[in-house]
Structure 1
Amino acid sequence: MAKATKKQALGRGLSALLNDSSSTISSANDKNADKIVGTIVEIELDLIEVNPYQPRSYFNEESLRELASSIKELGVIQPITIRKIEGAKFQLVSGERRFRASKLIGFKTIPAYIRLANDQEMLEMALVENIQRKDLDPIEVALSYQRLIEEIDLTQEEMSLRVGKKRSTISNYLRLLKLDPIIQTGMRDGFLSMGHGRALINIENTEDQLGIYEKIIQQKLSVRQTEQLVKNLKGEPSILPKKNKEVTKTPKFISKGIKTISEYFGHKVEIKLAGKDKGKIMIPFHSEEDFNRIKKLLE
């Protein structure tokens, strides 16, 4: 542990207060709150419980090992934040990665700042800290915003001040939660970005949303290509057959020839029927080079 931290040894009086098993400090009026809150001390890791309101359950193991290696060399430079609860125990407010990394390398104690926090404040601080992380996926951020609204009863305006984000930014994240759960999962797994999600929100029909989502995955469409696809779709009733409606059966001469045409152009060619024996052949392209390649084949 860093020497600078070890100098903050506990006096007998403070040690006794911290070990008082009967006290919980969640208000400035609680017993000994003025003597304990605001101090930075070395606390045994075994006496600290993780934050039950922590909205994040997954911690990247490789990232934790890297942090543990740094802590082993330099010590914990920034103290974790805790609150005093009953039974001579403490609860994490923030700093769970530092807490986990310290346990990983066998440290027995950790420098901790003791602050005042009730259950609602614990949840709010955990959510706000979570939102500030750079490695969160858009749906994790959106869910944190939603919890702040529902459980802390914050308006978007109040939340904007708390997290230092524009109200329009918060609104854009919250809109992502209107997407189909399959698409939300795709965003969490990194198959598409927030930009893709924002484009898909503009499609009201769930089947059409999922249809374009599949195209994004299969054809590796950019955000701009997705936006154009959505724009094109909005000029038509639907790109997918609707349920409980009769779907025109593809004639045999088309089903037999479509594979040959698709192989020739190197893309899955789409057929849009306009009657029993007429329609359109649609050849997709994904770049200027791809377009020129198809043009040469047609020439």
Structure 2
Amino acid sequence: MAKAVKKQALGRGLSALLKDPENDIKSVEDKNADKVVGNIIELDIDAIEINPFQPRSNFNEETLQELSTSIKELGVIQPITVRKQDYGKYQLISGERRLRASKLAGLQTIPAYIRIANDNDSLVMALVENIQRHDLDPIEIALSYQRLIDEIELTQEQMSDRVGKKRSTIANYLRLLKLDPVIQTGIRDGFITMGHGRAIINIENQEAQADIYHNIVSQNLSVRETEALVKSYHESLNPTTAKPSAKNNSFEVGETQKKAFTSFFGAKVDVKVDAKGKGKISIPFHSEEDFNRIIKLIGG
């Protein structure tokens, strides 16, 4: 217990150091930087601004309230991470749920790790922290990857190294952004899964995408059923790509030929031919004596 009190007192002491204008730390080379950077410090909540690079944009109010109640009782167990900006100002890198919940709980200060990072580092750190620690929806993840590409100009290969994800995984997320906005919203709201989205993305026409999306939701289709629906759609557009039917080798048996059979066997013979040119000849008989007569006719 004594150790916990000492740690908290240390955080408050460093907090006072940061409030001294003569100790405004802007880089790791500044005086007292080693005492601040990487340490846990009690920061005024009002001095922390939300990270504009934050990948998460949706927060469940019910779970936030539950976390707020826990913080009231136990305090903030896991510190947030911030980066030092101007004097007395900090920007959140990760931990927005904890910050929001702490505000709901009425806290004035919050424990925080201090980092010194440029905008690019802040963006990458925010993305990695959130993907690894929080349940971001697929569209939020895709938008985060797209920001790394647009704002830092990373290739998918470079991004794979930075965030520790396979390049193919990153590519699959990014493809979701080609979906109709209504479908993207459906993924974010949980009406369909990322698997459904990956199937629909194979259709370029957004109206057709929307039609299939509504079928998925209304009929509660599985991913496999959705893939079959998309396949049928493509086949309807390109009938030549559909599986070719077997060659029709059928032929007709003329009336003259049928009469010849009837005359020879002394009974009305039924002749059937299928599409492949295969068929059967049915010869009726009415008794054992009639059967033996037919056998003799065919040389039996």
Runs (4+) off by over 6 Å:
none
Aligned to 2:158: 158
Secondary structure at the counterpart of residue 86 of structure 1: coil
Report the residue type matching 1:92 in the other structure. L
CA distance in 2, matches of 1:168, 1:119: 26
CA distance in 1, matches of 2:55, 2:223: 29
C-alpha contact 1:124 1:152 (8 A) present in aligned 2: no
Secondary structure at the counterpart of residue 112 of structure 2: strand
- Please list, as runs of the form range in 1=range in 2, the aligned pairs for 1:41-56 lying within 5 A after superposition: 41-56=41-56
Report the residue type matching 2:89 in the other structure. K
Report the residue type matching 1:181 in the other structure. P
Aligned to 2:113: 113
- Please list, as runs of the form range in 1=range in 2, the aligned pairs for 1:126-165 lying within 5 A after superposition: 126-165=126-165
Secondary structure at the counterpart of residue 204 of structure 1: coil
CA distance in 1, matches of 2:12, 2:172: 53
Q: Say yes or no: does 1:172 pair with 2:157.
A: no
C-alpha contact 1:82 1:113 (8 A) present in aligned 2: yes
Aligned to 2:186: 186
Superposition deviation, residue 146 in structure 1: 0.7
Task: Please identify the structure whose Cα radius of gyration is greater.
Answer: 2
C-alpha contact 2:14 2:41 (8 A) present in aligned 1: no
Aligned to 2:17: 17
Provide structure 2 residue ranges, at least 5 long, that are not aligned to the other structure: 240-300
Secondary structure at the counterpart of residue 41 of structure 1: strand
Superposition deviation, residue 67 in structure 1: 1.1
Aligned to 2:71: 71
C-alpha contact 1:82 1:90 (8 A) present in aligned 2: yes
Q: 1:175 to 1:226 in 2, by over 3 A?
A: same
User: Aligned residue pairs: how many?
Assistant: 239
Q: 1:152 to 1:165 in 2, by over 3 A?
A: same
CA distance in 2, matches of 1:137, 1:147: 16
CA distance in 1, matches of 2:205, 2:97: 41
Normalized against structure 2, the TM-score is what? 0.70
Secondary structure at the counterpart of residue 56 of structure 1: coil
Superposition deviation, residue 185 in structure 1: 2.1
- Please list, as runs of the form range in 1=range in 2, the aligned pairs for 1:31-50 lying within 5 A after superposition: 32-50=32-50
C-alpha contact 1:131 1:144 (8 A) present in aligned 2: no
CA distance in 2, matches of 1:13, 1:138: 42
Q: Say yes or no: does 1:226 pair with 2:226.
A: yes
CA distance in 1, matches of 2:121, 2:201: 33
| Identical-pair percentage | 71
RMSD (CA atoms): 2.8
More helix by share: 2
CA distance in 1, matches of 2:130, 2:217: 28
Report the residue type matching 2:148 in the other structure. L
- Please list, as runs of the form range in 1=range in 2, the aligned pairs for 1:207-218 lying within 5 A after superposition: 207-218=207-218
Q: 1:134 to 1:40 in 2, by over 3 A?
A: closer
CA distance in 1, matches of 2:220, 2:163: 33
Provide structure 1 residue ranges, at least 5 long, that are not aligned to the other structure: 240-299
Report the residue type matching 2:159 in the other structure. M
Superposition deviation, residue 195 in structure 1: 0.8
CA distance in 1, matches of 2:222, 2:13: 63
Aligned to 1:102: 102
CA distance in 2, matches of 1:228, 1:5: 62
